[in-house]
Structure formats: structure tokens, C-alpha cells
């Protein structure tokens, strides 16, 4: 009975999906830039991440390599002109391949107001609908997110789209000109559909 109980507990956590490790450079200089950014925007002088939120994005481009190259370059972002450059922890390609670019204990710049607590997941594509209807890509996305939810004890309501950033209870932005800055990727209605599917997947994992 004890073993059966242990088995039931282990099945309640989604399994780790296959992830291809393809790191972008994140050496001491970029870490120092990230810590300076975190101090200016969040009042936290650290580059260390303790995930409480997952933010879903899409790249608005058509290839994994162009997104990876942009994140690896570590140039000031074209919109807000700060360092370190934009990045995300994961990129999910259209074929469902999941690439990890950055360790999960390092902050990445992907969502104004939330980088100090958020894992960023990019999807290669140009709209929410395109990704929701790509069977391989959406399955990989849900499996990865389900695994992260279990690993970091993240609540499903804290799995959000970039466009929902301003209404997150974790949103914090000390630099006033950016206090209302967000993007349009992954709208609320599409994220509701995403969260419904995520809950279904998590429940099926819990049932074993």
C-alpha cells in the first residue's frame, strides 16, 4: 500500500518532455547586465530566478534559428533599447521540438514587469491561432508547461500570455515609463483555451 501511494504521487506530476539543450551565451557580463536590469525595474539586485509565473509568447517570425540568433546576440532590444538583450528560456519549433536556451535559475528578459519571477516560452509562429492549431507544436507546449507547473508548483492561473502581463498579481515595474507596457501575443481568450487544455492534461497525468 505504501508503494502504491508513492506511485500515485509520482504520477501526479507531468513527466519531463524531451528538451534539446541549445544554450545562448549567458556569461558574467550578461548576468551582471541582468542583475542591473532587475535592480532598476524590480528593486532586486540579482540575476537569479525563482519561477512563479510562466509567460507564453510567439516569435512573430517563421524560424527557430532567427529567434535563437536574436536572443544569442545580446544586443539592446529594438523597442526599449536596454541591456541585456531579449531572450526566453525555451523556444518551441513548429515540428514540436523543444529547445532550452537558458537555465531555469537565471532571469531572462521576455516580459516587462515579470522577468524577476517568470519563465518565458517562445513559440515559432505569427499568431496564437496558428500555434493552437499546430498539433505537434501545441502538444509540445502543453507538455512542457505541465512539467514546469509541477516542478515549480506554479498555479495554472499564473500560466499567462504576454498580453495578460499587466493583470498578473506578480506584475512589478519600478520604472514608470514602462509601467503599462505589454505586447499583444497570446490574447486572454486564447490563453483561456490554452489553460483549459493544460488543466485537462494535468488531470490526466494525476489519474495516471
- The minimum distance between CB 184 and Zn ion, in angstroms, equals 8
- Which positions touch Zn ion (CB under 5 A)? 57, 162, 183, 185
190 vs 205 by CB, closer to Zn ion: 190
Residue nearer to Zn ion on the CB measure, 74 or 182: 182
Whole-number Å distance between alpha carbons of 90 and 53? 14
CB of 109 to Zn ion, least distance (A): 11
Please say whether the beta carbons of 154 and 54 come within 8 A.
yes
Burial group, residue 159, by CB count within 10 angstroms (0-12, 13-18, 19+): buried
Least distance in Å: CB of 172 to Zn ion?
18
- Toward Zn ion, which CB reaches closer, 183 or 199? 183
| Cβ-based nearer residue to Zn ion, 172 or 183 | 183
CB of 162 to Zn ion, least distance (A): 3
Q: Kindly state the smallest distance separating residue 73's Cβ from Zn ion, in Å.
A: 17
Buried b (16+ CB within 10 A) or exposed e, 49-82: bebbbbbbbbbeeeebeebbebbbebeeeeeeeb
Give whichever of 109 and 162 is closer to Zn ion, judged by the CB atom.
162
Residue (57 or 109) nearer to Zn ion, CB: 57
Q: How far is the CB of 10 from Zn ion (least distance, A)?
A: 34
Residues 6+ apart with CB under 8 A from 37: 82, 83, 84, 109, 115
Comparing CA positions, the residue from 75, 70, 74 lying closest to residue 59 is 70
Alpha carbon distance 203, 208 (integer Å)? 9
**DSSP assigned state of 128:** H
Amino acid at each position: 500500500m505504501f508503494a502504491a501511494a508513492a506511485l500515485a504521487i509520482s504520477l501526479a506530476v507531468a513527466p519531463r518532455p524531451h528538451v534539446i539543450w541549445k544554450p545562448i551565451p549567458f556569461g558574467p557580463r550578461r548576468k551582471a547586465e541582468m542583475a542591473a536590469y532587475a535592480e532598476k525595474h524590480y528593486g532586486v539586485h540579482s540575476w537569479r530566478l525563482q519561477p512563479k509565473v510562466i509567460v507564453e509568447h510567439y516569435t512573430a517570425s517563421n524560424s527557430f534559428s532567427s529567434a535563437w540568433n536574436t536572443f544569442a546576440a545580446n544586443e539592446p532590444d529594438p523597442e526599449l533599447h536596454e541591456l541585456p538583450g531579449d531572450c526566453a528560456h525555451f523556444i518551441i519549433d513548429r515540428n514540436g521540438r523543444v529547445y532550452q536556451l537558458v537555465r531555469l535559475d537565471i532571469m531572462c528578459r521576455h516580459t516587462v514587469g515579470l522577468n524577476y519571477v517568470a519563465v518565458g516560452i517562445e513559440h515559432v509562429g505569427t499568431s496564437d491561432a496558428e500555434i493552437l492549431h499546430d498539433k505537434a507544436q501545441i502538444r509540445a507546449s502543453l507538455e512542457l508547461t505541465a512539467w514546469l507547473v509541477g516542478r515549480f508548483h506554479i498555479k495554472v492561473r499564473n500560466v499567462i500570455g504576454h498580453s495578460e502581463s499587466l493583470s498578473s498579481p506578480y506584475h512589478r515595474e519600478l520604472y514608470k515609463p514602462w509601467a503599462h507596457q505589454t505586447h499583444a501575443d497570446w490574447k486572454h481568450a486564447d490563453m483561456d483555451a490554452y489553460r483549459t487544455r493544460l488543466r485537462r492534461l494535468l488531470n490526466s497525468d494525476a489519474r495516471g
